[in-house]
A and B are shown apart, each in its own frame.
Chain A
Amino acid sequence: MSVESKVEKLENAKVKLTIDITASDVNQGFDKAYKKIGAKVKLPGFRPGKVPKSILKQRYEDTVKNEAFEEILNQAIETAIVKDKLNIVSSPDIENVTDVYTKLQENESLSFQAVLEVYPTVELGPYKDLTVTAKTFYYDASHVDLELKKLQDREAEVIKKENDTAETDDLLQIQCNFYLVAKDEDNNLLRHINLNGNDEWFGPHQDQLLGMKVGDEKDFGMKIPEDYGVEALEGKDGYVHVKILEINYIDLPDMDDELAKDYNFDTLDDLKKDIETKLEETVNQKKREETFSALVEEIITNSQFDMGEAVVENRINQNLRTMQKQLEKMNVSLEHYLAMIRKSLDEIKDEMRESSLKDIQFDLIRQSVIEKEKIEVTDEDMDLEYKRYADHAKIPFEEAKKALSQNTTLDTLEYGRLHNKLIDFLIEHNTAKDGEKEAIQINS
């Protein structure tokens, strides 16, 4: 199909396509429609697909026209998009559809207009010699201690207590049964609790459990937890019947050179030094990230975007699909998840809107800065990546190169390398002032 098309730019990254289709192309479209409908209809006296055109025309005129309308317009728009090299993000919106439908006749040419949204463009503002304020991070002795404690916890052993009483910081396995007035219903529930005062249900009442032995049973009054699972009881003042099934205690190793040896260090000081270096790295990395995001933020404010709605909407849907896939891996449906966090789909979409918009703006800026500054990944860069992988996996360089070149991670690697180069470039060509200081967070 050959079409005549004109592209007219509108606001918000929209374009108006004016498309002229010749009569012969219209007829071709009709022929296809006749063939398609003819293959489906069953008429006595005719094998499927052998019904003459005129009989089809007599009996299925509307169906054929609908089919032809769709076929002709879709193909015309597709051809025009390819011809004019448009990067579209929305489905076409045809102006005066009913008029176009009535105008569509066999042996007659057709012209119509369609509005489409194209991929947004950016008019890049200044991105060099900017001054931004970015948060800085720090760590102190308490962070080192926390990290050490983490390592110590990892080496801890849980040991069963026989014929001994429950003490603070012990781990209990109990059977508990909540009731309002009397023992009216069995809701036996197994629960593991840590007697460090942090248990969600028994934390405030853990004194009651101290001093009990395995097999002991006890009743005491307490507020029935909100998430107990029996709606009639939740959140009310009631009683609990507790039976101790098992008492364990945590055996923590001493914090000395022995612990360090478990982590391949000679002395505890060496281990501490290693932790400090790692924390230092984290601090620098976080500062780099903060500076970069502050710079991006600044460049986004400086730049002009020609952007429509559909591209954001597409991105939101894409994110939703990714989320759905992740949830499916955990065997949770999206509906179930939404019910769990008590939000509607629209609320989630609204939450995603801003970040999706930022994502797209960042993509645009990233692309145009990379193009303008001709930032690219060289072979040496890739060699560095291979080397890093080889060191990490402890394999020879050539082997690492071969392994990485064979699978799809290469694209991700290249992308990551390019991203890093972009960050380096932006940080190098701009100034970052130190903003407020923040202590780094350590995940327990």
Chain B
Amino acid sequence: MNDHSIIIRPLLTEKTISARTIGGKYYFQIHPKANKIMVSQALENLFKVKVSKCNTYNIKGKKNRGRQGKTYRSNWKKAIVTLKEGNFDFYEGI
């Protein structure tokens, strides 16, 4: 598992943007097998920042009801990161 496969994408929604503005928290979708330490290290390597806190959650895939009966979206993992120093370009100016 390399750094790029750990951090899948930043989550940009109204909720995450207000969390960043109010509490300096950044949301990411991460590899389901990655843990807090791996995420912190990957972010520090990729974006040259210092992470102070990293919380992770497993999100259960939602149920889909289709013609084939019940199906599921895949489970995924979310990380909420607080930074000690530095920032992420893609979040800036939002």
Contacts and interface: CB of A to CB of B under 8 A. Distances in A.
A47 interface: yes
Interface string A23-58: 000000000000000000000111100101011000
Interface string B1-42: 000000000011111110000000000000000000000000
B94 A50 contact: no
Contact of A55 (B11, B15, B94): B94
Interface string B68-94: 000000000000000000000000111
Contacts of A47: 14
A41 to B, nearest CB: 14
Contacts of A52: 17, 94
Interface residues of B, number: 10
Contact of A54 (B11, B16, B94): B94
Interface in B48-72: none
B11 A45 contact: yes
Contacts of A44: 13
A60 to B, nearest CB: 15
A54 B92 CA distance: 8
Contacts of B17: 52
Contacts of A46: 13-14
Q: Is the interface of A mostly helix, strand, loop or mixed?
A: loop
Contact of B93 (A45, A50, A54): A54
A17 B15 CA distance: 48
A171 to B, nearest CB: 78
A52 B18 CA distance: 11
A45 B94 contact: no
Nearest to A51: B14
Nearest to A57: B93
A54 B93 CA distance: 6
Contacts of A45: 11-16
A50 B14 CA distance: 7
A285 B93 CA distance: 79
Nearest to B17: A52
A210 to B, nearest CB: 86
B88 to A, nearest CB: 13
Contacts of B94: 52, 54-55
Contacts of B11: 45
A444 B17 CA distance: 85
A49 B10 CA distance: 21
B12 A55 contact: yes
Nearest to B12: A45
A50 B17 CA distance: 11
Contacts of B12: 45, 55
A54 B11 CA distance: 15
B80 to A, nearest CB: 15
A47 B15 CA distance: 11
Contacts of A54: 92-94
A44 to B, nearest CB: 8
A319 to B, nearest CB: 56
A46 B94 CA distance: 13
A52 B16 CA distance: 12
Contacts of A50: 14
B21 to A, nearest CB: 10
A40 B11 CA distance: 22
Interface string A329-344: 0000000000000000
B18 to A, nearest CB: 10
Contacts of B15: 45
A246 to B, nearest CB: 74
A336 to B, nearest CB: 53
A172 B93 CA distance: 91
A43 to B, nearest CB: 9
Nearest to A45: B13
Nearest to B13: A45
A54 B94 CA distance: 6
A138 B3 CA distance: 107
A247 to B, nearest CB: 80
18 contacts: A44-B13, A45-B11, A45-B12, A45-B13, A45-B14, A45-B15, A45-B16, A46-B13, A46-B14, A47-B14, A50-B14, A52-B17, A52-B94, A54-B92, A54-B93, A54-B94, A55-B12, A55-B94
Interface of A: 44-47, 50, 52, 54-55
The 7 residue pairs across chains A and B that have the minimum distance between CB atoms: A45-B13, A54-B93, A52-B94, A54-B94, A46-B14, A50-B14, A45-B12
Given A45-B11, A54-B92, A55-B94, 11 more contacts: A44-B13, A45-B12, A45-B13, A45-B14, A45-B15, A46-B13, A50-B14, A52-B17, A52-B94, A54-B93, A54-B94
